[in-house]
Structure 1
Amino acid sequence: MSGAGAPPSQPYDASGVKVAVVAASWHTQVMDGLVAGAERACAAYGIREPEVIRVPGTFELPVVAAALARAGYDAVVALGVVIRGGTPHFDYVCSAATDGLTQVSVVHAIPIGFGVLTCDNEQQALDRAGLEGSSEDKGWEATAAALDTARVVRGIRG
C-alpha cells in the first residue's frame, strides 16, 4: 500500500491561510472525490471557503497555480489524475505537471499540495480518490501537506 509510512498530520487553526484548490476536469468521479477530500481537509483546518477552480486537465494545473501564487494565495492544492494508456502521452503529461508545479512552488516560495494521481488504471485512481470504499484520500493528504508546509513557511518569514 503506497499510503504506508505517511507522516501524521494534526489539523490546526489555519483560518488565516488563503488557500486555493485547482483541479483538473478529466475523470469526473475521481476528481470530484479529490476535490471533496480537499474541502474536508480545509474544513478540518478551519478554512471555510477555499477558492476552488477547475481547469480542463492536469497539464493546465501549473499555469493556474502560478497565477494563484501571483494573486497572493498562501497555499495551492493541485489535483489531477492521469491514467496510463497506450501512448507516451501519460509520461509527457505527468512530467510536465510535476515539473511545472515544482517550478511554481520554488519560484514563488509557496506550498503546492501535490494531489496528482499517476495511475496505471482507473481502479488505482478510484482507490486513492477518497470516495466511499477508497483506501486512500489523496485530496485530503495533498491539502494537509500544503497547509502544514504553509505553517512552516510562515514561521520562517516571521
Structure 2
Amino acid sequence: MKVRTFEGDYRGEGLRIAVVVSRFNDLLTEELLKGALDCFKRHGVEEVHIFRVPGSFEIPITVKKIAKRGYDAILALGVLIKGETRHFELVASQVSRGIAQVSLEEGIPVIFGIVPAEDEIQAISRSGIKSNRGFEYALTTIEMANLFRKLGENNER
C-alpha cells in the first residue's frame, strides 16, 4: 500500500494574498486585520492587498470579483455580533454560504475569517484582547495557499 500525505506549510515567501475586511465593527475588524498582517509579516508573505467593504454582507461579492486576479488565497475578515433581531442569523448564513460558494466555484482558498459572537464581550475577546483570531486565520490562509501550490505542481494521481 502506498500512502502519501499532502499538506501546506507556513512559509509565506512568494505568496500573493488578498484580504477583504469589513468596516462594520471596525474597532474589532481592525484588530483582526492587525493580527493577520502581523502573521503574514512574520511568515514572510511578500504581497498583501487589502480590500475594505462596508459590512460582512459585501464580502462574498468582493471576493468573487477579485478571485481571478492571481491571488494564492483570499482571507475574509469581519465581526458579526448577535443582536435582538434575526439580522445576525441572516447575515451570518449568507456570508458563510457566499464565501464557500466562491471558493468552490473559483478553485481558490477563501478563508472564513468572520468572527460570529453572541455579544460584544465575546467579540472583543476573539478579536485581540485574549486571542487574535486574525493571526490564526492568516496562518490558515498561508497553509492553504501552499497546499494548493503543491497540488497544482503535482500531476500524479
- Normalised TM-score (structure 1): 0.87
Report SS of the residue matched to 1:26: coil
- The equivalent of 1:25 in structure 2 is 23
For residue 50 of structure 1, the aligned residue among 28, 48, 51 is 48
Runs of 4+ that moved beyond 6 A: none
Identity %: 34
Listed one character per residue, the Cα deviations across residues 49-91 of structure 1 (whole Å, up to 9, x for unaligned) are 4101110000011111111212121100100011111111101
Q: Aligned equivalents of 1:35 and 1:108: distance in 2?
A: 24
Alpha-carbon contact 1:23-1:78 (below 8 Å) kept:
yes
| Residues 22-31 or 43-52, more deviating | 43-52
Aligned residues of 2:14 and 2:46 also touching (Cα < 8 A): no
Matched residue count: 146
> Could you say what secondary structure the match of 1:79 adopts?
strand
CA-atom RMSD in angstroms: 1.4
- Give the match for residue 147 of structure 1: 142
Structure 2: stretches of 5+ with no match in the other structure: 1-7
Pairwise CA distance, 1:114: 1.4
Post-superposition shift, 1:10?
6.6
In 1, Cα distance between equivalents of 2:77 and 2:56: 8
Q: TM-score normalised to the size of structure 2?
A: 0.88
Q: Which has the higher contact order (CA 8 A, sep 6+)?
A: 2
Provide the rounded CA distance (Å) in 2 between the counterparts of 1:68 and 1:143. 18
